């Protein structure tokens, strides 16, 4: 007759081993969020922008067609262009939120947000506008981020987009010399 202790410990041992394997698998998720501290020549909140980028192995930030009054950059993850970020200093009579209304509609459920002098957050992009003075002239600054697919939860993505606009708009304006 086999000892009872041995019969009990074998199933218990299997359960413990299975639990350890499952916990190990949970801990072996995909890559961590990227930490980006600068984009388009300005500092960015690494936690916010990192949440808006897809996970991957290799991140590349590249300036695209940047010039004074128009900083532009794109984020590339694993060889794919994923998120674009751009700023523009424009004349005060231009109405960027109206001009881009159709684009924001195409990007999913645009809703106004309380950022700057006005903002629109869609499912995959966000835009904010703020009046400013540039080289002694009345102007306005437009900040746009688009191509955003992460996080996958749309409500969370929209919340982070709004938080990003709120934190980045004054920083981008100051870097471009557009004073409120």
Burial 102-121 (b: 16+ CB within 10 A, else e): eebeebeebeebebbebbbb
CA 29, 30, 31, 32 torsion-angle sign? negative
Q: Is residue 125 exposed (0-12), middle (13-18) or buried (19+ Cβ within 10 Å)?
A: buried
Q: Give every residue of the chain whose pLDDT is below 50, as ranges.
A: 1, 3-28
pLDDT of residue 38: 85
**Per-residue model confidence (pLDDT) at position 40:** 82
* Residue ranges of domains in the chain: 1-30, 38-179
The per-residue pLDDT for 128 is 97
- What is the pLDDT at residue 30? 63
| Overall fold of domain 38-179 | Protein Transport Mog1p; Chain A (3.40.1000)
Say what the pLDDT of residue 18 is. 32
Structure confidence at residue 24 (pLDDT): 35
Note the pTM of the prediction, 2 decimals.
0.80
């Amino acid at each position: 007759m086999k000892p009872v202790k041995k019969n009990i410990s074998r199933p218990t041992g299997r359960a413990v081993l299975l639990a350890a394997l499952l916990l190990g698998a949970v801990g072996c998720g995909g890559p961590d969020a990227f930490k980006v501290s600068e984009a388009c020549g300005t500092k960015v909140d690494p936690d916010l922008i990192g949440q808006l980028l897809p996970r991957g192995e290799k991140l590349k930030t590249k300036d695209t067609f940047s010039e004074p009054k128009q900083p532009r950059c794109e984020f590339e993850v694993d060889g794919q262009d994923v998120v674009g970020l751009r700023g523009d200093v424009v004349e005060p009579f231009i109405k960027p939120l109206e001009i881009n209304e159709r684009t924001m509609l195409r990007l999913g459920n645009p809703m106004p947000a309380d950022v700057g002098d006005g903002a629109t957050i869609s499912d995959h992009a966000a835009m904010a506008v703020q009046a400013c003075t540039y080289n002694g002239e009345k102007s306005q600054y437009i900040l746009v981020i688009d191509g955003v697919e992460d996080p996958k939860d749309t409500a969370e993505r929209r919340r982070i987009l709004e938080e990003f606009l709120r934190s980045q708009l004054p920083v981008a304006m100051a870097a471009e010399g557009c004073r409120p």
